Amino acid sequence: MKCTLNNQIRTYLKSKKVVNPINVTFTQKQYVNGQRIDDPSSEQNFRHFRNVLNRKVFGNGYKRFNRQLQMLVVREVSSDIRHHLHCVIEQPQRYEFEEFVSLIHSVWSVTKFGYEQIHIEKPSSQQREDGWLDYIMKDYTKVSLSTSIDYVNSTVLSN
């Protein structure tokens, strides 16, 4: 049953393509002021990042016209119990890759749980885009794929 559900989720998510995607892994601080990161605090931290990033990209249009970047966000816990996030984020056409990478770094670094180690890549082919989706939806680092998806912050799901 679990395998069938996970396969259905994978098929659905692969049908929700992010336009002009970049692949991002965000590391997270595991403790801040005695608070241990968990799924709700990770979701809240990423929501703050998403809001600030969208305001910087779209200005007032983010709130007034609901303009926002497409994103797919998947939470993961590594074998050494470190929380991190794998994402696919839309790169706006008006930003050069390096400029957008710099913006992502600066916004992430001021979030409560944002850690300096971030991996960002521009997929060079459709095969690389698909490979990243396969990687972020792998089973062995998740209790369940359905509970690992950050539905609140994955804006591509509402399209």
Kindly write down the DSSP assignment for every residue of 88-110, as one continuous string: EEEPPTTS-HHHHHHHHHHHHHT
Count how many domains the chain has. Answer: 1
Is residue 120 pLDDT above 90, yes or no? Answer: yes
pLDDT at residue 1, rounded to an integer: 47
The answer as to whether 46 is a domain residue is yes
| pLDDT the model gives residue 147 | 84
Q: What's the mean pLDDT in 122-137?
A: 93
Checking if the pLDDT of 79 tops 70, the result is no
Answer whether residue 134 shows pLDDT above 50.
yes
Task: Give the range of the structural domain holding residue 143, as residue numbers without chain letter.
Answer: 19-158
In this prediction, residue 51 carries a pLDDT of 97
- For residues 68 and 62, the answer to whether their CB atoms sit within 8 Å is yes
- Lowest pLDDT segment from 53-57, 101-105, 150-154: 150-154
CATH for 109: 3.30.70.1910
**Residue 93 located in a structural domain:** yes
- Under 8 Å between Cβ of 5 and 147: no
- Residue 74 pLDDT more than 50? yes
**Do the domain assignments include residue 3?**
no
The per-residue pLDDT of the chain, averaged, comes to: 90
Residue 13 forms part of a structural domain: no
pTM of the model: 0.91
Highest mean pLDDT: which range of 71-85, 106-120, 142-156: 106-120
In the predicted model, what is the mean pLDDT of residues 92-107?
A: 97
Strands 114-121 and 35-36: unpaired
Res. 142: pLDDT tops 80: no
